[in-house]
Structure 1
Amino acid sequence: MTMQRRIFLAAGASAAASLAGPAFAQAGMPDTARFITGFPPGGTSDTICRRLAARMTGSYARSVVVENRTGAGGQIAVQAVRSMPADGTNILQTPMSMLGIYPHIYRKLAYDPFADFAPVSLGAQFDFGFAVGPAVPVSVTTVPQFLAWARQDPARAAFGSPAAGSVPHFIGALLGKNAGMELRHASYRGSQPAVLDMMGGQLPAVSAPIGEFLPHLSTGKIRILGASGAARSKFAPGVPTLVEQGFKDMAFSEWFGFFLPAAATPDTVSRLNAALRPALASADVVDGLAVMGLEAISSTPGELAARLKSDHDRWGPIVKSIGFTAES
């Protein structure tokens, strides 16, 4: 064989390997992966999933989609993923409440947050806001003023939240408890339906992730009276915290996390974690979530597991002090 022919054949083999490489790399890539959320389109949970689905399509799976399984305050999605194949294609995205708080309020929960799921990564963290709409006089500009206004007419002492037994629900309940009054709670399937009712004047106030209010502030139909963080939210720096307004020990934040069914192998968990972390750090995801009042973060599976355990233990005594159960 001549030297020229050897060079030609080597070059051809190299080119073929170059072209075949991506195909070989994608040979084990699933056709479809799903982010499954228990909340409707348009809210913060859905927004995180859609941002990441767009970012991870073609790298984690050929197609990454979002499936909204609403109902039962987010439980429908959690229950569904629990029994799905643990091959990395069925990804639960959920707020902490469904796993850290619900065990304290449901006597018969259809899932075990620690035994039924494999933690993968944190996704975002956020504060809550307490806001009012057109049904409340414009002279009401603080949470204590709202409580004083509601106390004058108990029929108006009401607020909505995205789910019974969620952190926003308990923030409203704690505000009433601290003020020596009861605020009636209206549970919705997600924050946006509650926010729209508030904007329409059917509901005086809503407790929800602060980002749920931001897109509507320009309408002039929403006023955020207080924020739940330990410090003022960078997304609403002009809004005083609840602690600043005299509600001591009422500093609450929450997170969204990603989980797989418990049977997922360590390799499957690691593959998803390795795909999520750069996606969550990308500028388009970080900036896109910031619009919704969300701070994009990631973690190791162990860090997420530890944070869930810590929040689960913190909320037990709080729930007991409020006296709420799913049957109450």
Structure 2
Amino acid sequence: MYDRRSFLCRTALLALGAVLPGALRAQTPSAPGRLLYGLPAGATGHKLASGALDILAKQLNTEYQLEINEARESREASETVKGAPPDGATLLQVQSGSMVMHPNLYSSLNYDPLNDFTPLALLGDFPYSLTLGPAVPASVVTLTHYLDWVAENPEYRDIGFSLYGSQAHLVSLVLARNKEIALRPQPYKAVKPLVHDLHTGTLAAAVTVAGNNAVLGRGQLRSLAVTGNQRLKGWPTTPTFAEEGVNGMDIIGWYGWFAPAHLPTGIAKDLRDKIHAMQATAEFAHLQDELLLNQVDMEPADIRERMRQEIAVYGKMVQTYGISQIV
């Protein structure tokens, strides 16, 4: 039996099949393109990019090579794509913070998220998780239990997150203020050392991209709560922060693909058609499920509007929670 998503996936691929022999394949570049990603390898975003590019190459005759450029907290990757020729050969994968948090974090940002790029597609929404490592006893099974345990074991009051000024940073601050507990947010440069410290017990808890628990957790990490207004399909027993009595946690991240600004209309349409066809495959649906991502269908104007709204919302939160700007 096919569910609705499976039916729509197959319908989209059949429709695209009628087009591929002509216009789409005619515009496929002879040399592989580049997809730049500005966060370290090994975590959810890296696996998403690799999996999506593999589907594009094998099923849609469109080849891009992934390049990891994590310099300067993903800013260098964004600047590189901003300055690339608008010919569809150079694309950018972002985790949403670089588009909606960075404008509020850096006093001088060398790219404009709204005007320097052409949105192509969002590849999935994701919540953030309050993630515990083995340092926390297995008997701690709710957020209240965890906070009580921290109060009794203040040496474990550090709560890790990846990158200063990120959405995960905000989650840790909202939790600490809402529950009036002296949690001490600790920034990490990358998610792998953070997860390593969770595994070894050096760190008791962290705010992580939910999918990183599946990618890097090795079964030793557990989630007590997730951000957003609904539970994750893949974690039906894990409550939201709102269900645990924490307000202000409608903090959802996303991954997106962008091209340089002024991309010709025909090339932009060609790329979007291919990406949408890739997203319609059963393989991509499986990849999203594996990485705990929710499908997002938004047109370019809607992506820009979402970014504009999130920049404003997070700007207010940065001020409210006292995250200092980086000069």
TM-score (norm 1): 0.85
Q: Judging changes above 3 Å, is the alpha-carbon distance between structure 1 residues 169 and 25 closer, same or farther for their aligned structure 2 residues?
A: closer
Equivalent residue number for residue 32 of structure 1? 32
With 127-136 and 262-271 compared, the bigger mean Cα shift is at 262-271
Equivalent residue number for residue 322 of structure 1? 321
Say if 2:163 is the partner of 1:166: no
Identity of aligned residues (%): 26
Say if 2:301 is the partner of 1:274: no
Equivalent residue number for residue 290 of structure 2? 291
Paired amino acid for 1:206:
A
Say if 2:160 is the partner of 1:186: no
CA contact (8 A) 2:43 2:215 kept: no
Say if 2:273 is the partner of 1:300: no
Q: Which runs of 5+ in 1 are unaligned?
A: 1-20
Q: Which runs of 5+ in 2 are unaligned?
A: 1-19
CA contact (8 A) 1:117 1:262 kept: yes
3-state SS of the aligned residue for 1:208?
A: strand
Alignment of 1:89-238 (within 5 A): 89-215=89-215, 219=219, 221-238=220-237
Q: Judging changes above 3 Å, is the alpha-carbon distance between structure 1 residues 61 and 91 closer, same or farther for their aligned structure 2 residues?
A: farther
Equivalent residue number for residue 17 of structure 1? none
3-state SS of the aligned residue for 2:115?
A: coil
Rg: which structure is higher? 1
Q: Judging changes above 3 Å, is the alpha-carbon distance between structure 1 residues 184 and 308 closer, same or farther for their aligned structure 2 residues?
A: same
User: 1:170 offset after TM fit, Å?
Assistant: 0.8
Say if 2:47 is the partner of 1:47: yes
Q: Following the alignment from structure 1 to structure 2, what is the Cα–Cα distance between the partners of residues 99 and 215?
A: 24
CA contact (8 A) 2:104 2:325 kept: no
Paired amino acid for 1:280:
Q
Q: Judging changes above 3 Å, is the alpha-carbon distance between structure 1 residues 59 and 215 closer, same or farther for their aligned structure 2 residues?
A: closer
Q: Judging changes above 3 Å, is the alpha-carbon distance between structure 1 residues 60 and 282 closer, same or farther for their aligned structure 2 residues?
A: closer
Deviations 1:166-206 (A, max 9, x none): 11111011111112234333333443432232112121112
Equivalent residue number for residue 57 of structure 1? 57
Q: Following the alignment from structure 2 to structure 1, what is the Cα–Cα distance between the partners of residues 116 and 23?
A: 34
Q: Judging changes above 3 Å, is the alpha-carbon distance between structure 1 residues 28 and 169 closer, same or farther for their aligned structure 2 residues?
A: same
Q: Following the alignment from structure 2 to structure 1, what is the Cα–Cα distance between the partners of residues 186 and 266?
A: 43
Q: Judging changes above 3 Å, is the alpha-carbon distance between structure 1 residues 28 and 144 closer, same or farther for their aligned structure 2 residues?
A: same
Equivalent residue number for residue 11 of structure 1? none
Say if 2:100 is the partner of 1:84: no
Q: Judging changes above 3 Å, is the alpha-carbon distance between structure 1 residues 154 and 84 closer, same or farther for their aligned structure 2 residues?
A: farther
Q: Following the alignment from structure 1 to structure 2, what is the Cα–Cα distance between the partners of residues 117 and 62?
A: 21
CA contact (8 A) 1:35 1:90 kept: yes
Q: Following the alignment from structure 2 to structure 1, what is the Cα–Cα distance between the partners of residues 214 and 21?
A: 42
Q: Judging changes above 3 Å, is the alpha-carbon distance between structure 1 residues 295 and 155 closer, same or farther for their aligned structure 2 residues?
A: same
CA contact (8 A) 1:82 1:261 kept: yes
User: 1:62 offset after TM fit, Å?
Assistant: 5.2
With 238-247 and 302-311 compared, the bigger mean Cα shift is at 302-311
3-state SS of the aligned residue for 1:57?
A: helix
With 119-128 and 293-302 compared, the bigger mean Cα shift is at 293-302
Equivalent residue number for residue 243 of structure 2? 244
CA contact (8 A) 1:273 1:300 kept: no
